[in-house]
Each structure stands twice: as structure tokens, then as C-alpha cells.
Amino acid sequence: MAKYSTELKEDVVAQVQAGASAAAVSRSSGVLPRTILKWVASAKQGKSLEPARPGPKTLLPPEAESHIYDWMVGRQLTGFPADRRQILRKAKEVALLVCAQNVWDGWYRCFLERHPTLAKRSAQSLSLKCNNVTSDDLATLFNTLGFVVPPAFSLPDKTVEWDILEKCEVPGAAITTSPSGFINTYLFERWLHFFAAAVPSSLKLPLLLVLDGCGSHYSEDVINTADSLDILLVLLPPNATHLPQPLDVVVFATLKEKLCTLINEVLEEDDEGRYSIDKMTAIRLARMAWTSSKIGRNIKIGFRTCGI
């Protein structure tokens, strides 16, 4: 059976669409007229002239697999490569949306075979020379002043009272709002300016900022802002365990525990059985938890414990 290249198919179809007869094109190209007409019909229907993949049809259409492929490459380029579990979860979401079916390990294996440019990688052990870093080396490369940047509080609302920080009493503290009360990309970009301004001028630039892998901490605007402020971003693995995240080890857990204890002491139930706390009190309690948690000391312990 004759096999024709995609370039030949496209050239033949273009000639027919330009007005040439199938018979005339057949004589010049050596392709049967009925084959030419079949290609022309496929082109009119918007079908690809690429040779069909041998074997049974894949569960997901090529466009869907292309979407998953681009998503995987994008994750890799941004420093957050997807593992098998994440890829399967993404594929299942696409499959349910496109064809109301599910995909399993067999699809994952065949998907990698259909896209040989994708390859599984495992973490490699560091050589003794690369891993032999001493505290003196760290002191040489990085500033160990122990300065703690003041806290920036985020509350769930559109506005807050102008004097709300009067109960905070932490020098240099800031406050903002967001619809959910959580950080988002815009607020993080603004916080980078706050961070750069809060650091003592005696510290040499660039500043090294170690982050978790939260999606709101990474965008083109964030990168550009950090670059303009001479801040180097180091992103730890997203959704990782607490072990490689130095602040989760000793800082946030202690801070949250103290804050919960303080809240439970003042929280009262209203007539409808609901619990609430006003923003001014929330800021006051956050200040008490912050100042009693020995943040500076715990940050140093956290990095030392994680080996960073």
C-alpha cells in the first residue's frame, strides 16, 4: 500500500482547491484520483492530513492529549514538574469533560509512549563534594543577621478601619484585604515591595527569598517585580511535606498554636450559636501571638533542622 507524506497530500489538495482537476493532478503526482478526492473531502471537513496512528483509537482525542502535553511542559518550565499521580488526575478531569469516561495506568503508559520527548526523572543524590556545606560556607554566602521582616496581615473584606493597626503595636506592620482573606498573586506582588522596603539598608543585595510552591507566589508579574527589586526567588516544591519547608517546621505551627489558644480565650457564642471575632480584636491577638513566638530564633532553627 502506497504511503504519502503529509507535504504531498497538502500540495495535491492545494492544487485541486486552486481549480485543477483531480485527473490532471493525478497524472502529475502519481496519486489515484479517488485518493485525491478523499483527501480534498477530508480537508473540507477540517480533518488532519497527518497519517493516522496505527492500532485502536485513543480514548482522548489528539487535541485533549496535546493540552495535557502542553500543561506538563509548562509545569516543567516553571520548575514544578508533574508526577504520575498529578498527570493522571489532570487526564481524568479532561476525560470526564471530553468523553465522560475515565483513564487509568494503561492510558498513562501509552501516553508516554506516544510522546517520547517526555521522560520520567528521579531525584539524584548529591555528591559528597556538593553536599559538604558547612555553617561557615553559609555565613560566607548569605547574611545571617537574623532580622525579622514585620508581619503583613490580610483580612477577608474590601476595606478596614484606618486605625485598625493601633492595637497591633508591631513596628512596621502592614494590613490589607482580599475577598477570601488569603494571599493572591496581586497581593504577593505588592508584598514584595513591602519586603524590600522593610529590610535594613545595611544588608547587601540581592536579597534571597525562599518560598513555598503556592501558585499565588509565581507569575510573570511577580518575577518582573522581584527582578526590579533585586530579589532572587527560590521556590520549594509545591504541596511538599513539612520536612523541606523550614518555616512550617517550627515557626507557623508555634504561631498558629498560640493564636488558637488566644482566640479560644476571648471567643464567645452569639444567640444564634455562631462564633465570631471583630477585626480589631483579631489584629490584637495576632500581635500577641507574633511577639510571644520568638520568630527570629525559630526561623534559624527551622532552616537548620531542614538542612537548608
pLDDT in tens, 113-151: 888 888 777 655 556 555 565 656 555 545 555 678 888
Q: Provide the pairing of β-strand 231-235 with 207-211.
A: parallel
Instruction: Look at residue 1 and tell me whether its pLDDT is greater than 50.
Output: no
pLDDT in tens, 20-52: 898 998 898 888 888 889 888 888 877 777 766
Instruction: Look at residue 154 and tell me whether its pLDDT is greater than 50.
Output: yes
pTM greater than 0.85 (yes/no): no
Q: Which residue has the higher pLDDT, 88 or 236?
A: 88
pLDDT score at 144: 55
Instruction: Look at residue 275 and tell me whether its pLDDT is greater than 70.
Output: no
Cα–Cα distance between 256 and 274 in angstroms, integer? 22
Candidate from 147-151, 254-258, 298-302 with smallest mean pLDDT = 298-302
For range 245-267, the mean pLDDT: 75
**How many Å is the maximal CA-CA distance in the chain?**
92
Structural contact between residues 204 and 218, judged by C-beta atoms closer than 8 angstroms? no
In three-state form (DSSP H/G/I as H, E/B as E, the rest C), the secondary structure along the chain is CCCCCHHHHHHHHHHHHCCCCHHHHHHHHCCCHHHHHHHHHHHHCCCCCCCCCCCCCCCCCHHHHHHHHHHHHHHHHCCCCCCHHHHHHHHHHHHHHHCCCCCCHHHHHHHHHHCCCCCCCCCCCCCHHHHCCCHHHHHHHCCCCCCCCCCEEEEECCCCCCCHHHHCCCCCCEEEEECCCCCCHHHHHHHHHHHHHHCCCCCCCCEEEEECCCHHHCCHHHHHHHHHCCEEEEECCCCCCCCCCHHHHHCHHHHHHHHHHHHHHHCEECCCCCEECCHHHHHHHHHHHHHCCCHHHHHHHHHHHHCC
pLDDT band at 185 (very low <50, low <70, confident <90, very high): confident
Instruction: Look at residue 3 and tell me whether its pLDDT is greater than 60.
Output: yes
Q: Which residue has the higher pLDDT, 79 or 221?
A: 221
Neighbour tally for 7: CB within 10 Å? 9
Cα–Cα distance between 13 and 25 in angstroms, integer? 9
Cα–Cα distance between 241 and 86 in angstroms, integer? 16
pLDDT in tens, 222-252: 889 999 999 998 877 665 544 556 676 677 7
- Work out the percent of the chain whose per-residue pLDDT is above 70: 77
Q: Which residue has the higher pLDDT, 299 or 280?
A: 280
| Grid cell locating 200 | 535594613
pLDDT score at 231: 92
For range 242-269, the mean pLDDT: 72
Structural contact between residues 183 and 216, judged by C-beta atoms closer than 8 angstroms? yes
Average pLDDT in the chain: 78
